[in-house]
Amino acid sequence: MKIEHVAIWTDNLERLKEYYMKYFGAVPGDKYHNSSNGFSSYFLVFGTGARLEIMFMADIPSNLNDTVYRQHKGIIHLAFAADSIAEVEKKAAELQEDGFPILKGPRLTGDGYYEFETLDPDSNRIEVTFRTLEF
């Protein structure tokens, strides 16, 4: 089996869509809208075929967890694989220059990755990694 897609609720579909298109090469499908319940979504497809569904519905409550300084049980981040250490560093610099925080890194981890952590416009935690060791 493989993961079919991961979904994220957002208050701003267009902003989140543009972020993943600009920084991670996502290609959006057509916007879906269900007028009976106010649900809207996009499926974003990445170069490997992985998909992210971003969704909006007015009555979804905000996440009250502190996603910047604390972590909580459940899905905590999305990780994007880079092709090199240089690509990790370039992406960190690009995001930082555009005003996105770099929470940790770029750094070499004990489990064989070179990575950094950042936040998307909705404060979802993102990792950009390069696997330096084979397991």
Contact 88, 106 (CB under 8 A): yes
Residue 6 main-chain phi, psi, to 5 deg = -120, 145
DSSP 83: S
Residues forming a β-bridge with 90: none
* Chain centroid to CA 86: 20
Domain boundaries, the chain: 6-56, 77-131
Supply the pTM of this predicted model.
0.92
Identical topology for domains 6-56 and 77-131: yes
Please state which of the four CATH numbers 3.10.180.10, 3.40.50.2300, 3.40.50.2020, 1.10.3720.10 is assigned to the domain occupying 6-56. Answer: 3.10.180.10
- Topology (CATH) of 77-131: 2,3-Dihydroxybiphenyl 1,2-Dioxygenase; domain 1 (3.10.180)
Give 10-residue mean pLDDT values along the chain (135 residues): 93 97 98 97 96 96 80 87 97 98 95 96 96 76
Q: Among candidates 48, 127, 123, which has minimal Cα distance to 80?
A: 127
- What is d(CA 22, CA 102) in angstroms, rounded to the nearest whole number? 17
